[in-house]
Amino acid sequence: MKQDLSHLVRTMPAHASLSVDGNDWKLYVYSLTRIGPDIFLQLALLGPRVCTMTVRAPAPIGNPATARRVLAGVHDWLLAHDFADQGYLELSPVAATS
């Protein structure tokens, strides 16, 4: 079930945080869906601007290496896309398990 994003941000601490180029970002997971062998995460990124990101990763997402790769990918995307308000990140199965 998809959560109301404004309620989530007001009532819960961020699920993760990043510092990107001197700016602090709060990350919220507001939807997680498994489709076949993949997990699709919907993230809200709150920092100097507000944007959303869809991440496709091999299931299960509980793998710490996969979580680190998601955070690294979000970091790199924020660094490279100054004005974008939506993004997509796809983790390969090989990279996510190494």
**Average pLDDT over all residues of the chain:** 85
Task: Give pLDDT, residue 52.
Answer: 94
Region 34-55: mean pLDDT is 93
Residue 33 pLDDT class (50, 70, 90 cuts): very high
The Cα–Cα gap between 84 and 78 comes to: 8
- Dihedral over alpha carbons 74, 79, 81, 87 (to 10 degrees): 0
pLDDT of residue 92: 81
Mean pLDDT of 56-68: 80
Helices (H) and strands (E) in the chain, counts: 3, 5
Residue 40: count of CB within 10 angstroms of its CB: 16
What CA–CA distance (Å, rounded) separates 51 from 37?
26
Q: Which domain holds residue 44?
A: 5-97
Q: Say what the pLDDT of residue 6 is.
A: 73
Instruction: Say yes or no to pLDDT of 22 above 80.
Output: yes
Tally of domains within the chain: 1
